Amino acid sequence: MGGLSASGRSVRLVGGGLAALVVLSLPVALAMPKYRAQAIQQFHYDTGNPLWALDRRVMACTFCHVGAGGGAPWNPFGEAIRAGFRADAAAGRQGKFPNVLYAVLQAGGDADGDGYPDALEVFAHTLPGDAGSRPDTPLAGLQTEFAVAGGMEQYAPPAAKGAGAGR
């Protein structure tokens, strides 16, 4: 009998532990890393997807990081952003992520060297820091689609958009 009640208690403890885990992990699941949430909105990856903030596949960690779980090290596109932050700081600016991100795209680089500039990979929803991930569309056609969609301006930082126009 003693054994039964002991195992019953341990089952309850495990159950309580699981419930606590679920409660504790909820805010983690809901809170997407800040930079990723900003990039998703700046790139309009949230368009037509009201649940984007709950779905990590909307923008994989490997967009900027080497590992699927994020953290160091960064891939070439992530390193370009890090270099952008350093250049921003060296110029005495505030290092706001959306501005740095936009500056990296405007620079026209091809971080992973696959022949498609970073901005076009953002547009095509491929990974700008992974040469194994490339747009299907030939470069010239993609450049035309990009221009028709609004070109680089469509990725301007939210606060800068329309600044000076009608304010």
Site residues for Ca ion per CB under 5 A: 110, 112, 114, 116, 121
What are the φ/ψ torsions at residue 161 (nearest 5 degrees)? -65, 120
Question: Of 8 and 108, which has the nearer Cβ to Ca ion?
Answer: 108
Specify the residue, 32 or 133, whose C-beta has the smaller distance to Ca ion.
Answer: 133
Picking from 154, 86, 90, the residue whose alpha carbon sits closest to that of residue 120 is: 154
Q: Which is nearer to Ca ion, 39 or 112 (CB)?
A: 112
Q: Which residues, in sequence order, are bridge partners of residue 65?
A: 74
**Could you tell me the smallest distance in angstroms from the CB atom of residue 107 to Ca ion?**
13
Q: How many CB atoms lie within 10 A of CB 120?
A: 22
Q: Which is nearer to Ca ion, 101 or 110 (CB)?
A: 110
Least spacing, CB of residue 26 vs Ca ion, in Å: 36
Q: Which residues contact 66 (CB under 8 A, 6 or more apart)?
A: 73, 74, 75, 78
Q: How far is the CB of 25 from Ca ion (least distance, A)?
A: 35
Shortest approach of Ca ion to residue 128 CB, angstroms?
A: 5
Cα distance between residue 101 and residue 35, in whole Å = 10
